[in-house]
Amino acid sequence: MDLFQKIRKGSQTLKLDFESIKKDLIVKYESSNKNDGQDNSRLSSSVIMPLYHTEDSTGMILTTRSKKLKSHPGQISFPGGVQEANESILQTGLREWEEEMGAPSRHLDILGSYEQIDTRTGYHITPFVGIYKGDFQFNINEEVESWMNVTIQDFWAKDFYCVDFFGMKSHRVYYFDLEDKGLLWGATCDIIVRFLREFAQFDREPKLVEPNLSNPPFFRPQTQVQI
> Which pLDDT tens digit goes with each residue over 170-188?
889 999 999 999 999 999 9
Give CA–CA dist 224/205, Å, rounded.
Answer: 21
**Per-residue b or e along 100-110, where b marks 16 or more CB atoms closer than 10 Å to that residue's CB:** bbebebebbeb
Give CA–CA dist 97/51, Å, rounded.
Answer: 13
Q: What is the DSSP letter of 27?
A: I
Q: Which residue has the higher pLDDT, 212 or 39?
A: 212
pLDDT for residue 110: 97
Question: Would you say domain 4-152 falls under CATH 3.90.79.10?
Answer: yes
Number of other CB atoms surrounding residue 163 within 10 Å: 19
pLDDT at position 4 over 60 = no
> Which pLDDT tens digit goes with each residue over 16-72?
789 999 999 999 998 777 666 566 678 999 999 999 998 888 999 999 999 888 778
pLDDT for residue 73: 86
Q: How far is CA 54 from the centre of its chain?
A: 19
Confidence of residue 11 (pLDDT cuts 50, 70, 90): very low
pTM: 0.90
pLDDT for residue 166: 83
Region 159-169 average pLDDT:
90
Confidence of residue 12 (pLDDT cuts 50, 70, 90): very low
Nearest to 192 by CA among 90, 78, 65, 79: 78
> Which pLDDT tens digit goes with each residue over 192-203?
999 999 999 999
pLDDT at position 227 over 60 = no
pLDDT for residue 95: 98
Instruction: State the average pLDDT for the chain.
Output: 89
What residues does each domain of the chain span? Answer: 4-152
